[in-house]
Amino acid sequence: MRFWGWGEDGHDAPLPEAAEDLLERELDVPPGPRREPVALGDIDLPESRLDAEDLASVAESFSVRTDREARVLHAAGKAYPDLVRMRSGDLASAPDAVLSTTSSEGVKDALAWCSSRGVACVPFGGGTSVVGGVEPLRGSFSSVVSLDLRGLNRLVGVDERSLTVEAESGLLLPELEQQLGARGLTLGHFPQSYEYATIGGCVAARSACQASTGYGRIDELVLGLKMASPSGDVDLAAMPASAAGPDLRELVVGSEGAFGVITSSLLRVRPRPQETRYEGFAFGSFGEGAEALRILEQAGAAPDVARLSDEDETRMSFAMAGGGAKARAAGLYLRARGVAGGCLAICGWEGDPESVARRRGRTIALLKANGGVALGQAPGRAWVKGRYHGPYLRDELLARGVFVETLETATQWSGLFTLYNAVGRALRDALGQCVVMCHISHLYPSGASLYFTFLARARDGEELDQWRAAKHAASEAILASGGTITHHHAVGKDHAEYLPREAGERGIAALRAVKAELDPAGIMNPGKVLQL
């Protein structure tokens, strides 16, 4: 992946004219020269703080790299502040070395070496964190290494009778799906980072995906796991269910490398769907659409994919897609049915043909009964085609001088719009002239998630201050309105200061006690989750 953005060269596309017009009209971003990222060779990379003797001792047991490319590629994740720093060549936090291995034994050796020498260790999978989760912070240590886990990339075993698989942590999601597909199976975990995300990263960050309403979050799919910690192994066998005390998996899933390194996970899979069908629906307002989704979920009729964009996200989506004849035709179609402006919903069903037909029929009946207007399969196909395009679009917006960032939260249905309004107001107050968009993408009987995307004109030289102001304002609004500080992006560095207000003083003390037991020297991923 490119160090300064998402994906590889060749995926970029210029903004359509409708999008350029919108940026100038609503954000005061005039047409102008692109802001190109610094070249790899022009980065002023600080010298490694590890001496030759230290590095030689590491190289005896597994691979070590200190070259420019390796250190730069492991210097940050893919959050807005990460990309601002990387595009400008600000690599003060680059790791002193990158370690890699192809075995769990190599991971254990790495942790033993780091513990004995007082070197901070940051586990690194796909590097897709958007909350500072893989930034190589030194904490109280003089040096830090990035431990690249992509060499642990085997599908260890498949139990087709039990519908379970064991996968090593460095296995990329697309590679896992390819291997499972050959057996007629799927994990069904498709986050927006799917192209580059690893199994271990998803488990460590407690991720959700675009089809989580139907397939479940990653924590619902993890049955067992293995973790190497500085003080020893944690091996949690897979059970269909157990009453043997508190579920220790819950301490590891979502631990973000703060306790140790997850080396493999045993996961629940299901038969690969024979049929997939995605369709679009329109609602007169975000409130009307949200109420329809609540009714669907609580009636047990929700589709596998259920997404509802608010008015601003619907409008921006059409602009970023180019507007044009299809958008105008859709507008005429909706107005003819009494829907002006409005919001776009995408629903998707997966499974065998009979199941898809039955479930789709029930979903559509409830949507229409609650104000939904069917738009057919064209919007659904367009969503599927572009479901992983958002990060590429962000790169293009950054090059145009646009501040663009996302955040997500969740709360109960009864407080959903209190939270929605509070976060939107906080972001607008912090940013001034801006566009704040939101969608619902994960449904639960008791509530739903809210995923915000917000854009403003980037303030030259003050981009990070601008981001901090917006992030702090939104986070305070989330906590004051009864939302979770993160629904699926994880805690990382960006949310660590807010976690105690959600978990409570005793809860944080308990987690610190776990860390002290598993990581007594405190070398694992400093500054993340618990701010240690």
The pLDDT tens digits of the residues spanning 445-475 come to: 999 999 999 999 999 999 999 999 999 999 9
> What distance in Å separates the CA atoms of residue 240 and residue 224, rounded to the nearest whole number?
10
pLDDT at 31 over 90: no
Spell out the residues 6+ positions from residue 19 whose beta carbon is closer than 8 angstroms to its own: 319, 320, 322
Map 293-324 to HEC letters: HHHHHHCCCCCCEEEEECHHHHHHHHHHCCCH
- For the chain, which domains are there? 37-148 (3.30.43.10), 163-174+181-271 (3.30.465.10), 275-385 (3.30.70.3450)
Pairing of strands 97-100, 63-65: antiparallel
Q: What pLDDT score does 329 carry? A: 46
Q: What pLDDT score does 9 carry? A: 80
Q: What pLDDT score does 334 carry? A: 52
Q: What pLDDT score does 301 carry? A: 97
> What distance in Å separates the CA atoms of residue 508 and residue 499, rounded to the nearest whole number?
8
Sheet arrangement for strand 222-229: 155-159, 164-168, 261-268, 222-229, 232-236
The residues pairing with 308 across neighbouring beta strands, listed in sequence order, are 345, 440
Q: What pLDDT score does 325 carry? A: 43
The residues pairing with 411 across neighbouring beta strands, listed in sequence order, are 448
Q: What pLDDT score does 440 carry? A: 97
Beta strands in 312-424 (DSSP E): 343-351, 373-376, 402-412
- And the tokens for 154? 């085997």
The phi, psi pair for 322, rounded to 5°, reads 110, -5
Measured on CA atoms in the order 122, 228, 156, 63, is the torsion positive or negative?
Answer: positive
Q: What pLDDT score does 13 carry? A: 73
pLDDT digits (tens, 9 = 90+) for 316-339: 888 876 654 445 445 544 554 555
pLDDT digits (tens, 9 = 90+) for 298-321: 999 999 999 999 999 998 888 876
**Contact by Cβ (8 Å): 239, 249:** no
**Contact by Cβ (8 Å): 308, 289:** yes
Q: What pLDDT score does 338 carry? A: 55
Q: What pLDDT score does 337 carry? A: 54
Tell me what the mean pLDDT of segment 167-195 comes to: 97
Tell me what the mean pLDDT of segment 220-248 comes to: 95
Cα–Cα separations (whole angstroms), residue 509 to 222, 499, 506, 514, 523: 26, 12, 5, 9, 18
Q: What pLDDT score does 342 carry? A: 86
- Burial annotation 237-258 (CB, 10 A radius, 16+ → b, else e): ebeeeeeeeeeebebbbbbbbb
pLDDT digits (tens, 9 = 90+) for 387-427: 999 999 999 999 999 999 999 999 999 999 999 999 999 99
Q: Give, rounded to a whole angstrom, the gap between the first and last alpha carbons of the chain.
A: 29
- Mean pLDDT of the chain, nearest integer: 93
Q: How many of the other CB atoms lie within 10 Å of CB of 11?
A: 15
Q: What pLDDT score does 323 carry? A: 54
pLDDT at 156 over 50: yes
Nearest to 380 by CA among 363, 400, 401, 402: 363
pLDDT exceeding 70 applies to what percent of the chain? 96
Confidence of residue 532 (pLDDT cuts 50, 70, 90): confident
Tell me what the mean pLDDT of segment 2-29 comes to: 87
pLDDT digits (tens, 9 = 90+) for 369-392: 999 999 999 999 999 998 999 999
